[in-house]
Copies of this chain bind each other. A is one copy, B any other.
């Protein structure tokens, strides 16, 4: 196995562990990529705990690897539970694709966690980056228990977490999302992104739609936690989280244990995430340590 060229960009001690930001050349995406991670304090004497479980957190539109680490307040509980957090960037950057920086909801900062198939965006392979290339790097470089991995995300990243978790139920023990884009084939953000990245064939879009994946799920039993603020300005037009429950009910199957919680008064911001992130970490910890 070849060595990964990880470059440490910053390191700050936090809750006795460290928040560390890295960059690395991505062979898959054709550019340098950054991610931020929280590595809890290592306890070398307790061999049992030497390999730690890991939670990937996928961020939303316009975000980078920083937002979650700086604003969610996740480190306190992650340190307590001994869980590594990994926050990837949200798209390739600097590829020189025409118009890649023109919109906040397409191109840079808006990779939508799909593998693009259109000629123009063919380098946008964020699905494979998150599920293959990045875990390969993480597993090679850090003390990760590769059998104990879960995934979470917010908004576009909530969509990403649901899609990636549902498509890879053997890789991810549990899935959670804040304010996810639940039915991207039927909302303006999703239609815009999928048209660009996947082309006009709407059947191809369904492979990246959480509601479609839930409706047709045939994998092992899986726990999913979704939190949604009822004062979220994007709820009605873009997120449509109730479609997740509908898809599950329509499927007539109970193999997915979906808990969708609606919260009065909360909006789309990190203040909402920070309020419930510790419950998400407890939810994942239970599955990761089972």
The CB with the most chain B CB atoms within 10 A, among A13, A73, A274, A278, is that of A13
Which of B13, B70, B263, B275 is close to A266, meaning CB atoms less than 8 Å apart?
A: B13
A229–B271 CB distance below 8 A: no
Q: Does A208 touch B at the CB level, under 8 Å?
A: no
Question: Which interface class (under 10, 10 to 19, 20 to 34, 35 or more) fits A?
Answer: 20 to 34
For A5, the chain B residues whose CB sits under 8 A away are none
Question: Which residue of B is nearest A19, CB measured?
Answer: B271
For A16, the chain B residues whose CB sits under 8 A away are 275
For A19, the chain B residues whose CB sits under 8 A away are 271
B73–A14 CB distance below 8 A: no
Q: Does A267 touch B at the CB level, under 8 Å?
A: yes
Q: Does A139 touch B at the CB level, under 8 Å?
A: no
A269–B73 CB distance below 8 A: no
Which of B13, B76, B231, B275 is close to A15, meaning CB atoms less than 8 Å apart?
A: B275
Q: Is the interface of A mostly helix, strand, loop or mixed?
A: mixed
Question: Which residue of B is nearest A15, CB measured?
Answer: B275
- A 251-290 to B, binary, CB cutoff 8 A, 1 in contact else 0: 0000000000001011101111011001000000000000
A200 to chain B, nearest CB (A): 38
For A271, the chain B residues whose CB sits under 8 A away are 12-14, 19, 75
B13–A267 CB distance below 8 A: yes
Question: Which residue of B is nearest A264, CB measured?
Answer: B13
Q: Does A122 touch B at the CB level, under 8 Å?
A: no
A76–B75 CB distance below 8 A: no
- Complex Cα distance, B263 from A231, in Å, reads 41
A12–B267 CB distance below 8 A: yes
Q: Does A192 touch B at the CB level, under 8 Å?
A: no
Give 9 A-B pairs besides A12-B269, A13-B231, A14-B274 with Cβ atoms closer than 8 angstroms.
Answer: A12-B266, A12-B267, A12-B272, A13-B275, A14-B271, A14-B275, A73-B274, A75-B274, A76-B278
